[in-house]
Amino acid sequence: MYLWFKLLHVFFIISWFAGLFYLPRIYVNLAQVEAGNRGEYLRLLGMAERLFKFMTPLGIGAVLTGFVIPFVTGWWGMGWVHTKVTLGVVLLGYHFYCYRLLLDFQDNRNRYSHKWFRVFNEIPVVIMVAALYLVVFKPF
């Protein structure tokens, strides 16, 4: 049973991270659209809205399978699992903050520059590296 949950978890994680990496890139482009170019703004906004709707169920699947695996394997008592789950919760917070940013773009209330979004885009990379380290090395 563990291998099925692991397969699903890896699938959901890869798919969710694709969205987490790409959505802020769309935000970079949205932040760079000139004020008079409404068509370009709406096209990018539509892309962002559709991507968010697509990646949300993938994130839910990643989190659910990520919570199930430690119970199936008996790993729940291990410290690295608690840290990895915490990283998953932080990623959920990042996901929901991406939604908040999307709402701001929808209401023309974006207050960040394209440079800010470029830095913001790196947060899931750091979290992914930390989670991979925990899974591979199981340090504690």
Q: Which residues does the annotation place in the binding site?
A: 9, 84
Rounded Cα–Cα distance for residues 98 and 84 (Å): 21
Binding-site residue numbers for heme are 9, 84
The CA-atom distances, in angstroms, between 132 and each of 55, 105, 107, 118, 128 are 21, 32, 37, 23, 6
Q: How many CB atoms lie within 10 A of CB 43?
A: 14
CB atoms within 10 A of CB 81: 21
